[in-house]
Amino acid sequence: MSDPYKKYAGYAYRELRSKLLRDGEPPETVDLTIANIKLQRSAQSIAKRQKKESDRQWGEVIEALQHERRIVRSMVRYKTKTPAPERDEFVQAYFTVLTKLYEKLEKIRRVDRELPEHSHWTDFVPERTKETFRIAADEVPPRDRAKFKQPFQRTSPIDLCNRRRARLLRYTRATLETTIVRQDEDPDNPKLPRKEMLLREAIKRLNALPDNAHIPNHWVHIVPDLMRSDDDDSMQSVVKAKPPKRRGALTPKPLNEMPIVQKLTADLAEQRKQRAQFMDRQSLGTTIKKLLAVTEKHHAD
């Protein structure tokens, strides 16, 4: 389906109005056209933000899953000096499950274009499947120097954990600042002090999580044991960007500290001193002559 407003892309609304009026369009038609273009641009902006957020969330889910697959792939390739068929069978079966899950999530990501239902890849695996593999892992006999790990752990790569922690801290702290401001404006609201307490506890727990922990998308999931059904669980959707760090001392010096200003000030003071001496000790005619001579000398310099 063709876009009737594609030819107006890149026009500011004021420019567009002037163009349509110059083209002979009635004012009512111009207003309707601009209103429709505003709706279209708003919808496109929302769709663009949603796609960006979807790509980010899916990317982080897949990133953690791929990290797990790389670890298990190395386990599959590792061969023990003493034959360990139980271990080899287990890690191969686990790697197969992870690969199928990866293919499934990538397909959902491409087709649905929606936000992922869960923030960690293990949540997409049925609980009965996870329990079956956990039991099988306990039955694998240990081998010296043989790489092995418990399946379906809710961990993340350290880099991913640090990114998600920093992001959630920014939004949680912004929410805390807003809550404190709201308390000043509405001191009788009993939910606000409780929300402040929950947010502070969430920040404390978030900072205490290990470097490979899975960081959720919302502060509420950090304190689920403290939440009540009537608690305010909202979170800031936008965080103000911090001003860029200044490199070096960019603040200019005060005007009276600049060398050229200091020199001009000193010259002016010296001229005033000489004029005062001439006027105190000489006749007016002599003073004027010498003053003119000093002024000419100063200009010559």
pLDDT tens digits for 164-173? Answer: 999 999 999 9
> What pLDDT score was predicted for residue 249?
44
> What pLDDT score was predicted for residue 3?
84
Residue among 105, 39, 118, 40 nearest 66 (CA): 105
Residue partners of 108: CB distance under 8 A and separation at least 6? 116
SS (H, E, C) the chain: CCCCCHHHCCCCHHHHHHHHHHCCCCHHHHHHHHHHHHHHHHHHHHHHHHHHHHHHHHHHHHHHHHHHHHHHHHHHHCCCCCCCHHHHHHHHHHHHHHHHHHHHHHHHHHHHCCCCCCCCHHHHCCHHHHHHHHHHHHCCCCCCCCCCCCCCCCECCHHHHHHHHHHHHHHHHHHHHHHHHHHHHCCCCCHHHHHHHHHHHHHHHHHHCCCCECCCCCHHHHCCCCCCCCCCCCCCCCCCCCCCCCCCCCCCCCHHHCHHHHHHHHHHHHHHHHHHHHHHHCCHHHHHHHHHHHHHHHHHC
Q: CA torsion sign, 91 to 124 to 214 to 157?
A: positive
> What pLDDT score was predicted for residue 198?
97
75 CB neighbour count, 10 Å cutoff? 19
> What pLDDT score was predicted for residue 114?
87
Position 47: which residue type?
A: A
Which tokens hold the place of 250? 């960019």
> What pLDDT score was predicted for residue 142?
75
Position 84: which residue type?
A: A
Give the pLDDT of the chain (301 residues) as one tens digit per residue.
578 888 888 899 999 999 899 989 899 999 999 999 999 999 999 899 989 999 999 999 999 999 999 999 998 888 777 778 888 899 999 999 999 999 999 999 988 878 999 999 999 999 999 999 999 998 888 766 556 678 999 999 999 999 999 999 999 999 999 999 999 999 999 999 999 999 999 999 999 999 999 999 999 999 999 999 999 999 998 887 665 555 444 455 554 555 666 666 777 777 677 666 555 555 656 666 666 676 666 556 5
> What pLDDT score was predicted for residue 207?
97
> What pLDDT score was predicted for residue 106?
95
CA distance linking residue 283 with residue 120, whole number of Å: 97
Residue among 221, 246, 251, 225 nearest 235 (CA): 221
Which tokens hold the place of 29? 């038609």
pTM above 0.75, yes or no: no
Per-domain residue ranges for the chain? Answer: 6-46, 59-142, 159-222, 275-301
